Structure 1
Amino acid sequence: MSGTRRSYNEEYKKQTVKYIQEQTKTVAELALELDIPAKTLHQWLGKYRSFQSEPIATPDKVRELERQLKERDQQVADLTEEMAILKKAVHIFSNPVYRRSSLRVPSGEDVQRLSGITERLLQMENSEAQPPSRPQSVTA
């Protein structure tokens, strides 16, 4: 702390208060930035504060903020539900029993069996494509 006492004119104090109101920093941060004691800035705020430069909570503004809050709450609820569904899906698909039974790669035996079935189906198709032969009548 310096031993000299500084004095500021009224215009400087008003400009400083206006600057403080426009900032998002705390008074302590601004006190360090401006090299003015925080207690002094608080006193100036009490004396020179102008609420015109600060946002006022009008009923319309409050309603708008409430509407936005409800929207965000709904979004959070939707995302929470989606996340729960995805967690269940991950659990189901990571189960080794599910992976072995439904996503199995066919073995050589499976391929041979399927090709045999395919050949038989083709033979049946070819035999059906030919006109049926008449049964021979047995005369006695």
Structure 2
Amino acid sequence: MRKTYDKEFKLQAVRMVKEDGKRIAEVARELDLAEQTLHNWVKKYNQGKETAFVGSGNIQPEQKAERELQKRVRDLEEENAILKKAMGIFAKDQK
């Protein structure tokens, strides 16, 4: 069965490597982790710092903003299409 670790655990492990200057192999042994797992966490942390570990089902703030913008564009395009249809209907009624 696959183990899951919360954000705080991952950050603690990464800090042991980054701030305490311990080797990845040493920290992995201490915390009963696979070295590759810890290596991946350190790499992820280096790329995103505190936002590196958003948790299962959650997304990065940048991705969330992008999704919200995409939804807004879709909604506006739909509203635009409805208004065009309404204009066409009203234009026919004017004749």
Q: Same fold (TM over 0.5)?
A: no
More helix by share: 2
- In the superposition, the TM-score normalised over structure 1's length comes to 0.31
Higher relative contact order (CA 8 A, sep 6+): 2
The structure with more radius of gyration: 1
